Amino acid sequence: MRIGVITFPGSLDDRDAARAIRLAGAEPVALWHGTPDLAGVNALVLPGGFSYGDYLRCGAIAALSPIMSEVKRAAKSGMPVLGICNGFQMLTEAGLLEGGLIRNDHGAFICRDQELQIENTSTVWTNSFTPGGRIVIPLKSAEGGFTAPKDTLDRLEGEGHIVLRYLGANPNGAQRDIAGITNAAGNVVGLMPHPEHAVEPGFGPDTDAAMRSGTDGLGFFTSVLRSLVGV
CB of 50 to other proteins, least distance (A): 17
d(CA 19, CA 131): 26
d(CA 82, CA 77): 15
Q: What is the DSSP track for 77-121?
A: TT--EEEETHHHHHHHHTTSSSSEEE--TTSS-EEEEEEEEE---
Check binding of 110 to other proteins (CB under 8 A).
no
Check binding of 228 to other proteins (CB under 8 A).
no
Check binding of 57 to other proteins (CB under 8 A).
yes
Nearer to other proteins, 53 or 131 (CB): 53
Contacting residue, 40, 77, 107, 230, with other proteins by CB under 8 A: 107
Nearer to other proteins, 141 or 227 (CB): 141
CB of 107 to other proteins, least distance (A): 4
Residue 191 burial (10 A CB sphere; 0-12, 13-18, 19+): buried
Helix crossing, 218-229 with 14-24: angle to 10°?
Answer: 60
Q: What is the contact mask toward other proteins in residues 2 to 41, using x (rule: CB under 8 A)?
A: ----------------------------------------
CB 48, CB 83: distance < 8 Å: no
CA distances from 228 to 14, 42, 43, 67 (A): 21, 7, 8, 22
The catalytic residue among 70, 93, 98, 196 is 196
Contacting residue, 99, 193, 214, 217, with other proteins by CB under 8 A: 99
Check binding of 121 to other proteins (CB under 8 A).
no
Length of the chain: 231
d(CA 46, CA 57): 16
Is 85 considered catalytic here?
yes
Is 115 considered catalytic here?
no
Check binding of 105 to other proteins (CB under 8 A).
yes
CB of 83 to other proteins, least distance (A): 15
SS3 (DSSP) at 31: strand
Count of residues that bind other proteins according to CB under 8 A: 20
Using CB under 8 A, list all residues that contact other proteins: 56-57, 60, 64, 92-93, 98-100, 102-107, 145, 147-149, 173
Catalytically active residues are: 85, 194, 196
